[in-house]
Amino acid sequence: MFTATINIPNRCGIAISSKSVTVGDAIYYDYSITGNDALCTNGTATYAVGGLPTGSTIAWTSSNNNVATISAGGVASWVSSGTVMFTATINIPNRCGITIANKFVTVGDAVFSGNSITGDNTVCGTSSDYTISNLPAGASVYWQATPNQIVTIDAPYATQTKLISYANGVITLTANISNGCNISISKPNIIVTGPPTITCQTIGNGSCNQQITLCPSQLNTWQYFSIPNYNPPGAAGFQLTAFGGGYFSGGATVINVSTDYWATHDIGVFVPNNGNNSTDCNVTVRAVNCGVSQYVPYVVTFPVMTYGCGYSSYSVSPNPATSTITVSPNTKVSSAQNKAEKTPFTEIEIIDKLGNFKKRLKFSKGTNTATIDISFLPTDTYLVRVFNGTNWEEYKILVAK
């Protein structure tokens, strides 16, 4: 600041006048270039200097026109990959000298220099994290796997993700990266082992379900079961899930057991009484190895019967049988218990162990004894169901030829 102290003749005192002046390097204000730090392949970008006084002019230059050029209006164009510095030489009216601003810009493929996917080369079940090396700050990622029916991508829009095996095969994992520019990088030949594929034949010997019929008195107790084939191809073990209020040891509703364990043990499940002597309990069995097999391969249900518990109304003989069976009142219980004396049967069904009806018979009112031809049945076990007009009672017989 310059100060003038003025003494004027014939005036009292003095007058003072001041002026602030910018001197030397302080004339050059701190201006900066705005615009993207990256210039994409085959792309353009516009750069500018903000806040300049009216009438200011800018002369733009590029440090390497073989990498990127920049026009008089600040529009930069890609030429090849690399790094370049754009310079704005600024001339401000009524100011001494010029002001210079610089900006370094990454161009073309150099925007994604050194990017690669790191992660497992094999997947069994759930993988570890797949990440991208040298990922630019602020970049977004979209993951894809081809073919697309072998794995599930846990987090397709995150900067890192896991793979969950779904089937056997070999995939390529691709990361589509964007931070103003776009690039796709891939990790090929990832070997995937999916969960075991099991069927009614490989786990259940032809049947996908098992029924364990209970009397009301057997509710709120532990029931035990096994499956016909405890060692299906590709299975390392089983995952069991209890529904309808049932649970396994320790109160768990989901447990895992090995095939070796099931070879020597039955599985216990607590079957609850869900009211009015009924239960909705069932157990689902799925094979485990590199994930969990499809839903639902094998189901154990616990239906409750309200008849024939504690005694049998009828007798089915002989058992084993060859050519005929006779259904008659059960004389081994007291007359008060023997409902067959008071309630004759009206229907009889014979069912094989797969649930197929082999014979159905209807009887006239008052019938409580019948001899039935079974000579056509091959050797096997069968269920004889007797209907008294209100309830069904079931009896297992063996046909031996």
Domains along the chain with CATH numbers: 24-111 (2.60.40.1080), 116-193 (2.60.40.1080), 200-301 (2.60.40), 314-399 (2.60.40)
Tell me the average pLDDT across 384-396.
81
* pLDDT for the residue 11: 64
Which residues, other chains included, contact 229 with Cβ-Cβ below 8 Å and sequence gap of 6+? 202, 203, 204, 205
Tell me the average pLDDT across 221-248.
87
Reading the block at residue 308, the tokens are 């024939």
Integer Rg of the chain from CA: 43
pLDDT digits (tens, 9 = 90+) for 55-79: 889 999 999 999 999 999 999 999 9
Reading the block at residue 131, the tokens are 């990440």
Residue 48 predicted with pLDDT over 50 = yes
Go through the chain and tell me how many residues it has. Answer: 401
Which residues, other chains included, contact 228 with Cβ-Cβ below 8 Å and sequence gap of 6+? 203, 204, 205, 207
**DSSP per-residue string spanning 122-160:** EEESB---BEEETPPTT-EEEEEEESTTSEEES-TTSSS
Tell me the average pLDDT across 28-46.
84
Residue 358 predicted with pLDDT over 70 = yes
pLDDT tier, 316 (very low <50, low <70, confident <90, very high otherwise): very high
* pLDDT for the residue 97: 66
* pLDDT for the residue 338: 47
Residue 123 predicted with pLDDT over 50 = yes
* pLDDT for the residue 86: 95
* pLDDT for the residue 22: 58
Beta bridge partners of residue 192, listed in sequence order? 123, 169
Q: What is the pLDDT of the chain when averaged over all its residues?
A: 85
Closest by Cα among 162, 84, 181 to 123:
162
pLDDT tier, 165 (very low <50, low <70, confident <90, very high otherwise): very high
**CA separation for the pair 139, 177 (Å, rounded):** 7
pLDDT tier, 36 (very low <50, low <70, confident <90, very high otherwise): confident
pLDDT digits (tens, 9 = 90+) for 261-293: 877 777 899 999 998 888 999 999 999 999 888
State residue 274 phi and psi, 5-degree precision.
-90, 15
Q: Tell the residue number behind the tokens 């615009």, with chain if given.
A: 35
**CA separation for the pair 375, 378 (Å, rounded):** 8
Rounded to the nearest 5 degrees, what angle is found at the Cα of 364, between the Cα atoms of 358 and 368? 80
Beta bridge partners of residue 382, listed in sequence order? 352, 397
Rounded to the nearest 5 degrees, what angle is found at the Cα of 8, between the Cα atoms of 5 and 10? 145
Residue 304 predicted with pLDDT over 90 = no
* pLDDT for the residue 96: 67
* pLDDT for the residue 145: 97
* pLDDT for the residue 266: 79
Residue 336 predicted with pLDDT over 50 = no
* pLDDT for the residue 17: 64
Reading the block at residue 157, the tokens are 């829009």
Tell me the average pLDDT across 223-248.
87
pLDDT tier, 13 (very low <50, low <70, confident <90, very high otherwise): low
88-108: b or e for each residue (b if 16 or more CB lie within 10 Å)?
bebebeeeeeebebebebbbb
What Å distances lie between residue 136 and 15, 39, 81, 105, 156, CA to CA?
64, 13, 16, 14, 18
Beta bridge partners of residue 372, listed in sequence order? 325
Largest CA distance in the chain: 154
Neighbours of 65 (CB within 10 A): 12
What Å distances lie between residue 163 and 8, 178, 395, CA to CA?
92, 21, 52
Strands 38-39 and 99-107: parallel
**CA separation for the pair 101, 85 (Å, rounded):** 10
**CA separation for the pair 236, 289 (Å, rounded):** 5
Q: Which one-letter DSSP state was computed for residue 64? A: -
pLDDT tier, 382 (very low <50, low <70, confident <90, very high otherwise): very high
* pLDDT for the residue 292: 87
* pLDDT for the residue 116: 92
**CA separation for the pair 311, 330 (Å, rounded):** 9
Q: What stretch of H or E contains 264?
A: helix 259-264
* pLDDT for the residue 342: 52
* pLDDT for the residue 337: 46
Strands 347-352 and 298-301: unpaired
Q: Out of 187-191, 257-261, 268-272, 307-311, which region has the weakest mean confidence (pLDDT)?
A: 307-311
**Residues 1 and 22: beta-carbon distance below 8 Å:** no
* pLDDT for the residue 311: 64
